[in-house]
Amino acid sequence: MKNLVLRDPLFEDLFDFRREFDKIFNRILAVKPWEKEEVAPWPLFNFVPPVEAYVDKETKKYVCKVSLPGIEPKEVQIHVQGNLLTITGDRKYTRQAKEHDALHEEFAYGKFERTLELPEGVNTEKMYAEFVNGVLEITAPVATVALPRKIEIKATPMTKQIAA
């Protein structure tokens, strides 16, 4: 059986101090005096929703999925201009208690904007958006002409190459 080694609490306190200092510094950087909105007490970073976008060759559709847990669909706007798809919204801080002893605060809050370039051939007139289980799914048909296609390479027989 191995002997247990006691750790110096000063060493652990330094890491806690560093973590708290980082939280304070990030809070200072996140404050925008020109915006007088209610924000989370310790915003570590702005909310940036993850996005997944692809062209489904089977259904011939452009698909864009945006993970927006805890956000109401009415808080999200979708705009298309030219070949740019822009998704904007706001993940609001909803905690009612002003004073609390946080054990962990890792959720990000605030306004977000994601702009994606649409591939060639996407029919934006028939774009459709649906919100299911916290995931915004935007789909639009893609013209068959714009879909990637395989081009066959023909080989010339060796005898014809030698004769030339």
Instruction: Give dist(CA 69, CA 91) in Å, integer.
Output: 9
Helices (H), 59-145: none
Domains identified in the chain and CATH numbers: 47-146 (2.60.40.790)
Other CB atoms within 10 A of residue 121 CB = 16
Residue appearing with tokens 């970073």? 45
Structure-token match 């109401």, residue found = 72
Q: What is the pLDDT along the chain (164 residues), one digit of tens a residue?
A: 566 555 555 555 555 666 676 667 666 666 555 554 444 444 445 778 999 999 998 888 999 999 999 888 999 999 999 899 999 998 877 766 666 677 777 777 788 899 999 998 899 999 999 999 999 999 999 887 766 678 888 887 776 666 65
Burial class (CB in 10 A: 0-12, 13-18, 19+), 26: middle
Write down the pTM of the prediction: 0.61
The predicted structure's pLDDT at residue 159: 67
The secondary structure element, H or E, covering residue 115 is: strand 110-117
Rg of the chain over Cα atoms, rounded to whole angstroms, equals: 26
pLDDT recorded at residue 62: 93
Q: Kindly provide the b/e burial profile for residues 65-79, where b requires at least 16 CB atoms within 10 angstroms of the residue's own CB.
A: bbebeebeeeebeee
Q: Is residue 90 a contact partner of residue 110, using CB atoms and an 8 Å limit?
A: yes
